Structure 1
Amino acid sequence: MLEEEYETRRVLPRHLRKPEPAEAPFEYSIREARAEDLPHVREIYNHYVANSTVTFDEDAMTLREWKSKFAYLHKLGMPFIVAESPSGQILGYALVSPWKQKRAYRFTVENSIYLGAASTGKGLGPILMQELIDRSKAAGLKEMIAVIADKGAEASIKMHENFGFTEIGRMGRVGYKFDRWLGTVLMQKSLK
């Protein structure tokens, strides 16, 4: 026998090979946010405060501030939902809050959706958006506004467009974060 023949590896037929380890499916459930979720919500949000321009907040939100916001939104009957893994980890959240404080604006809300770092790119954002829209309609809300950073949030703008939001305006150089000026894109969707 030739030396080359010894080096030839035999390959088992596909049906006799060990199966390749499959990537675990991305599983979650959507539910109303609860007070015990707030430390996780705060952690997700504060990651964006510290590392991105998708929020113009420069200071991390405290748990006390989140508890106050949670109580306020609950009192108003505003949707505030979380995506939870089977192990109980909060993967992301979505909420609406009053667009303005004046009573005449009571049927108009601003949406917010934030995902944990390990949950991005898996289709969870659109799932949360659809659920938020559905729950906002059920709550009797009529208009939803999105205020999106004009730089670094292209995926958010695209997602909102996919849900029927239309651009209604832009504001340039209204925020200053990480030593640069930032603007916003305003988008709106009727919930009728």
Structure 2
Amino acid sequence: MNIERDHSTKQEIVITEATEAHVDRITEIYNHHILYGVGTFEEEVVDAVEMNKRRVDIQALGLPYLVALIDGVVVGYSYLNYYRTRSAYRFTLEDSIYLDHTQTGKGLGSKLLGQLIKLAKESPKGFRQIVAVVGGSDNDGSINLHKKFGFTNYYCLKSVGFKFNREVDVVFLQLSLQDSPTSA
């Protein structure tokens, strides 16, 4: 568990491993992104049972699935998963970060991503890379967050998604864990 105090608001921010008790809020946050954003290319809302299954599956792999709590309420979540399932990708992870839409721009993404990077570096599995796959080349918040932590090799796949009746780009960024900081 990582506890920090936001000195501007005097709120305590707790970053901790997600449990089943957090799943309803995780589901609410994710469904908002499904309905109103391109950070995920899912288009149908999911229920808490499905979100809990996803959490359990990731944690069963020994990978982190974190929540950010303010006053005990989930205001964001993040996790690492394998970039691809084929064995040659076994040292490469993909990160995912979702924040409550009222909590963006407050540093929560940095706290979550910093903790994910720290955990990936400390893992005995020998992870070497983290890949960020960002929906929307105009998703400046996510792109800039990853760049702040040293993600490079920006590559944009044009118009590979289609959501909200428009074509959507996908941006790839990459972080070498050997050379990266855990805070920005």
- Band the TM-score falls in, shorter-chain normalisation: 0.7 to 0.9
Kept in 1, the 8 Å contact 2:78–2:112? The answer is: yes
Q: Which residue of 1 aligns with 2:42?
A: 57
| DSSP 3-state at the match of 1:27 | strand
Higher strand fraction: Structure 1 or Structure 2? 2
| DSSP 3-state at the match of 1:182 | strand
Q: Deviations over 1:34-87 (max 9, x none)?
A: 11111111110110110111211111122222122112111111111111122x
For 2:141, the aligned partner's letter is: A
Is residue 2:62 matched to residue 1:80? no
Kept in 2, the 8 Å contact 1:167–1:185? The answer is: no
Structure 2 residue runs without a partner (length 5+): 1-7, 179-184
Is residue 2:21 matched to residue 1:36? yes
Pairing 1:147-162 to 2, within 5 Å after superposition? 147-162=133-148
Displacement after TM superposition at 1:186 (Å): 0.5
| DSSP 3-state at the match of 2:23 | helix
Displacement after TM superposition at 1:24 (Å): 4.0
Kept in 2, the 8 Å contact 1:82–1:92? The answer is: yes
**2-structure distance, mates of 1:123, 1:26:** 13
Q: Give the total of aligned pairs.
A: 169
Pairing 1:127-146 to 2, within 5 Å after superposition? 127-139=111-123, 140=125, 141-146=127-132
Q: Deviations over 1:84-134 (max 9, x none)?
A: 122x11011110111111122122111011111232121111111101100
**1-structure distance, mates of 2:18, 2:107:** 20
**1-structure distance, mates of 2:46, 2:94:** 18
Structure 1 residue runs without a partner (length 5+): 1-22
Kept in 2, the 8 Å contact 1:95–1:112? The answer is: yes
**2-structure distance, mates of 1:170, 1:120:** 23
Is residue 2:55 matched to residue 1:70? yes
**2-structure distance, mates of 1:44, 1:117:** 8
Moved more, 35-44 or 116-125: 116-125
**1-structure distance, mates of 2:11, 2:161:** 36
**1-structure distance, mates of 2:80, 2:46:** 17
Moved more, 137-146 or 122-131: 137-146
Kept in 1, the 8 Å contact 2:78–2:95? The answer is: yes
Higher helix fraction: Structure 1 or Structure 2? 1
Q: Which residue of 1 aligns with 2:76?
A: 92
State which structure, 1 or 2, has the greater radius of gyration over its C-alpha atoms. 1
| DSSP 3-state at the match of 1:117 | coil
Moved more, 150-159 or 68-77: 150-159
- TM-score where L is the length of structure 2: 0.86
Moved more, 119-128 or 150-159: 150-159
| DSSP 3-state at the match of 1:82 | strand
Q: Deviations over 1:161-191 (max 9, x none)?
A: 1100013422111100000001111100011
